[in-house]
Structure 1
Amino acid sequence: MQSVFIHPVDHRVSRLLFVRLPRALKFVQRGLLACVAALIVCFVGGSVLVADELASELKFREQLVPLLRTYCYDCHGAEDGEGGVSLEADDTALKIVKGREHWMRALAQVRLGTMPPADSDVMDPSSRTRMVELIDELANAIDCVRNPNAGKITLRRLNRAEYRNTIRDLVGVDYSPADDFPGDDVGYGFDNIGDVLSLPPLLMEKYLDAAESIMGEAIYTPPPPELFELERSPITLIGADKYNGKNHLAMSSNGTVTLQFDAPFSGTYTVVFSLSGDQGGDEPVRAEVTAGRRTIPVEVKESEPTEKKVAFRLGKGTRQIDLSFLNDYYVKDQIDRNLHVHHVKVSGVEQRSQFVSSPDLPTTHRVLLFETAGNDGEFDRAAKAVLGRFASRAYRRPIGKSELGRLVELATQVRDNGGSFEESMQVAMQAVLVSPYFLFRVERPREAGDDGVMPQVNQYELATRISYFLWSSMPDDELLRMAHRGQLRDRRMLLEKVGRMIKSPKASRFVDNFASQWLQLRNLEIVQPDTRIYRGFDDEVRDAMRVETLMFFSEVMRNNLPVTELLNADFTYMNEALARFYGVNDVRGNEFRKVSLSGTPRGGLLTHASVLTVTSNPTRTSPVKRGKWILDNLLNTPPPPAPPNIPELEKGKLVGSLRERMEQHRSNPACAACHNMMDPLGFALENFDAVGRWRTRDGRDVIDASGLMPDGTSFDGINGLRELLTTQRSEQFVRCLAEKMLIYALGRGTEYYDKCALDKITADVRSHDYKFAYLIAAIIESDPFQKQGYREP
Structure 2
Amino acid sequence: MTFHPHTHGKHAGLFVLAVLLGPLSLSNASEVPRVLMDERHRALLVEHCQGCHGGENAEANFRVDDLSFEIADLQMAARWQKVLGALNSGEMPPEGEEPLSVDAKTNFLDDLANLMVAARKSLGDQKGVITMRRLNRREYRNTLRELLGVEINVTELPADTGSGRYDTVGSNLFMSSTQFEQYMSLGREALEETFAREISAAEKRVVRLEAEQVTQKVADYIEWQIDAKDRATRWMKLVDEATEHPENAAIVEEIRAGPLGKHRHTIYRQWQLFPGVPAPETFGFNTVENNADKAIAALSQYHHRYHHYYMQQPAVDTGAYLAIPNEHPSVLDNASINLLIPYGWPLGEYIVRFRAAITDNATPDRQFIEFGTYPAAQQPISAHHITATMDNPQIVEIPFTLTRGHRNHNDRVLFLREKGVRDDYAHTTRIAKAAREANDDIGRTFSLWVDWLEIERVPNVAESKPPGVAALRSLPLDDRSGPPAANDVRAALTRFAREAFRGQEPPSDYVDKLTGIYLVSREAGTKHSVAIKETLAIILASPMFLYLAEPDAEETRRPLTQHELATRLSYFLWGAPPDSRLRELAEQDHLADREVLVHETMRLLDDPRSHDFVTGFVSQWLSLDRFDFFQVNLDRHPRFDNATRISAKKEVFETVAFLLKNNGSLSDLLKSNYVVVDGLMANYYGLEDVAGDEFRPVKLSADSPRGGLLGMAAIHLMGSNGDDTSPVERGAWVLRKLLNDPPPPAPPNIPQLARLAGQVLTTQERLVAHQEEPQCASCHRKIDPIGFGLENFDAVGAWRTEDHFQVTDENGKPDPNLHKTWKIDAAAKLHSGESFNNYFELRDMIASKSDDFARGFTENLIEYALGRPVGFSDEALVEHVFAQSREEQFALRTFLRELVSSKEFQTR
User: TM-score when scaled to structure 2?
Assistant: 0.56
Give the Cα–Cα distance (whole angstroms) in 1 for the partners of residues 698 and 65 of structure 2.
53
1:490 aligns with 593
- CA distance in 2 between counterparts of 1:602 and 1:216 reads 48
Asked whether 1:368 is paired with 2:453, we answer: no
Work out the CA distance in 2 between the residues paired with 1:537 and 1:468: 35
Alpha-carbon shift at residue 754 of structure 1 (Å): 2.9
Q: CA deviation at 1:181?
A: 3.5
C-alpha spacing 1:703/1:117, structure 2 compared with 1 (3 Å): farther
Change (3 A) 1:654 1:496: farther
Aligned-pair identity (%): 29
User: Could you report, residue by residue, the CA deviation over 1:354-395 in whole angstroms, capped at 9, with x for unpaired residues?
Assistant: xxxx9999955862324459x999956644543333212322
Does the residue aligned with 1:701 lie in a helix, a strand or coil?
Answer: strand
Q: In the alignment, which residue of structure 2 is the partner of 1:742? A: 862
Q: Does 1:153 align with 2:130?
A: yes
- 2:545 is aligned to 438
Q: Distance in 1 between matches of 2:127 and 2:906?
A: 8
- Give 2:881's aligned residue: 761
Letter in 1 for 2:562: Q
What's the counterpart of residue 733 of structure 1? 853
The farther-off stretch of 561-570 and 406-415 is 406-415
Q: Give the whole-Å Cα distance in 2 for the aligned partners of 1:676 and 1:82.
A: 33
One-letter code of the match for 1:577? Answer: L
User: 2:573: which partner in 1?
Assistant: 470
Distance 1:359 1:623 in 2: 56
Deviations 1:555-610 (Å, cap 9, x if unpaired)?
11222212122111222222333222222222223443321223212110111000
Residue number among 192, 199, 220 corresponding to 1:216 in the alignment: 192
Task: Choose the corresponding residue for 1:194, options 170, 173, 184.
Answer: 170
Whole-angstrom distance in 2 between the partners of 1:672 and 1:614: 23
CA displacement 1:442-470 (0-9 Å, x = unmatched) = 33324345xxxx22333322322222221
* Residue 576 in structure 1 maps to residue 661 in structure 2: no
In structure 2, C-alpha distance between the alignment counterparts of 1:468 and 1:85, rounded to whole Å = 51
Amino acid at match of 1:405: D
Distance, in Å, in 1 between the alignment partners of 2:668 and 2:165 is: 23
Task: Confirm whether residue 604 of structure 1 aligns to residue 725 of structure 2.
Answer: no
Decide which of 94, 97, 103 is 1:119's aligned counterpart: 103
Q: What letter matches 1:533 in structure 2? A: R
Structure 1 residue corresponding to 2:493, chosen from 372, 387, 409: 387
Residues 67 and 76 of structure 2 are in contact (CA less than 8 Å); yes or no, is this contact kept in structure 1? no
Name which of 479, 487, 506 aligns with 2:609: 506
For residue 169 of structure 1, the aligned residue among 123, 142, 146 is 146
Q: Which of these two proteins has the greater Rg computed from alpha carbons?
A: 1
Matched, 1:549 2:655: no
Cα distance change, pair 650–716 in 1 and its aligned pair in 2 (3 A): farther
Which of the residues 632, 646, 657 maps onto 1:529? 632
In 1, Cα distance between the equivalents of 2:159 and 2:865?
20
Assess if the C-alpha contact under 8 Å between 1:372 and 1:421 holds in 2.
no
Name the aligned partner's letter for residue 753 of structure 2. Answer: E
1:585 counterpart = 2:667: no
If the length of structure 1 is used for normalisation, what is the TM-score? 0.63
Equivalent residue, structure 2, for 1:632:
736
3-state secondary structure, aligned to 2:836: strand
Distance 1:360 1:581, change over 3 A: closer
Aligned: 1:205 with 2:181: yes
Q: Is 2:551 the counterpart of 1:447?
A: no
Kept in 1, the 8 Å contact 2:884–2:894? The answer is yes
Q: In 1, are the aligned partners of 2:106 and 2:777 still within 8 Å (CA)?
A: no
The 1-side partners of 2:186 and 2:167 are apart by 21
Mean CA deviation greater in 97-106 or 498-507: 97-106
- In 2: Cα distance, 1:750 partner to 1:117 partner: 38
Q: Is the 8 A contact 1:96 1:138 kept in 2?
A: no
CA distance in 2, matches of 1:754, 1:103: 28
C-alpha distance 759-87 of structure 1, shift in aligned 2 (>3 A): farther
1:377-432 deviation digits (Å, cap 9, x = unpaired): 99566445433332123223412433333334444545666778766653432221
Per-residue CA deviations over 1:69-103 (Å, capped at 9, x if unaligned) read 79998779898699979698547x8x758888579
Q: Which amino acid aligns with 2:852?
A: Q
Task: Report the AA paired with residue 625 of structure 1.
Answer: E
Distance change in 2, residues 1:646/1:184 (3 Å): same
Deviations along 1:472-514, one digit per CA (max 9) or x if unpaired, are 1222222222322333342211211111112211111111222
Aligned-partner residue type, residue 499 of structure 1: M
- Aligned residue in 2 for 1:709: 830
**Counterparts in 2 of 1:734 and 1:786: CA distance versus 1, 3 Å:** same
The structural deviation recorded for 1:191 is 3.3
Between the aligned partners of 2:542 and 2:33, the Cα distance in structure 1 is 50
Q: Which whole-Å CA distance do the structure 2 matches of 1:751 and 1:382 have between them?
A: 52
What is the rounded CA distance, in whole Å, between the counterparts of 1:670 and 1:554 in structure 2? 41
Q: Distance in 2 between matches of 1:72 and 1:489?
A: 57
SS of match in other structure, 2:666: coil
Confirm or deny: 8 A CA contact 2:114 2:743 kept in the other structure. no
CA distance in 1, matches of 2:679, 2:626: 24
Equivalent residue for 1:622? Answer: 726
The answer for the alignment partner of 2:747 in structure 1 is: 642
Q: Residue 401 of structure 1 is aligned with which of 499, 507, 513?
A: 507
Give the C-alpha shift of residue 697 in structure 1. 2.0
RMSD: 4.5
| Aligned length in residues | 576
Give me the whole-angstrom Cα distance separating, in 1, the residues matched to 2:757 and 2:199. 73
Q: Which SS does the other structure have where 1:564 is aligned?
A: helix
| 2:894 alignment partner in structure 1 | 774
Q: Are the aligned partners of 2:722 and 2:796 in contact in 1 as well (CA < 8 Å)?
A: no
Structure with higher RCO (Cα < 8 A, 6+ apart): 2
- Unaligned regions of 5+ residues in structure 2, if any? 1-29, 86-99, 201-459, 805-820
Amino acid paired to 1:536:
R
Q: How does 1:63-102 map to 2 (within 5 A)?
A: 89-90=67-68, 96=72, 101=77
Q: 1:196, CA displacement in angstroms? A: 2.9
CA contact (8 A) 1:575 1:591 kept: yes
SS at match of 1:787: coil
Q: How does 1:648-727 map to 2 (within 5 A)?
A: 648=753, 652=757, 654-699=759-804, 700-727=821-848
Q: Secondary structure at the match of 1:735?
A: helix
Aligned counterpart for 1:457 among listed residues 550, 560, 578: 560
Cα pair 1:570 1:603 within 8 Å, conserved: yes
Counterpart position of 1:36: none
Which structure 1 residue ranges, 5 or more long, are not aligned?
1-51, 110-115, 143-147, 224-357, 789-793
2: CA distance, partners of 1:139 / 1:526: 28
AA aligned to 1:188 is G
Deviations 1:111-165 (A, max 9, x none): xxxxx985239989xx99xx999x97999699xxxxx975333332322222111
Matches of 1:685 and 1:605, distance apart in 2:
12
Contact 1:150 1:787 in 2 (8 A): no
- Structure 2 Cα separation of the partners of residues 89 and 760 of structure 1: 37
Q: Is the 8 A contact 1:765 1:775 kept in 2?
A: yes
Give the conservation status (yes or no) of the 8 Å contact 1:640–1:674.
no
Distance change in 2, residues 1:407/1:647 (3 Å): same
Is the contact between residue 122 and residue 871 of structure 2 (CA under 8 Å) also seen in structure 1?
Answer: no
Cα distance, 1:530 vs. partner? 1.7
Aligned counterparts of 1:556 and 1:360: Cα–Cα separation in 2:
33
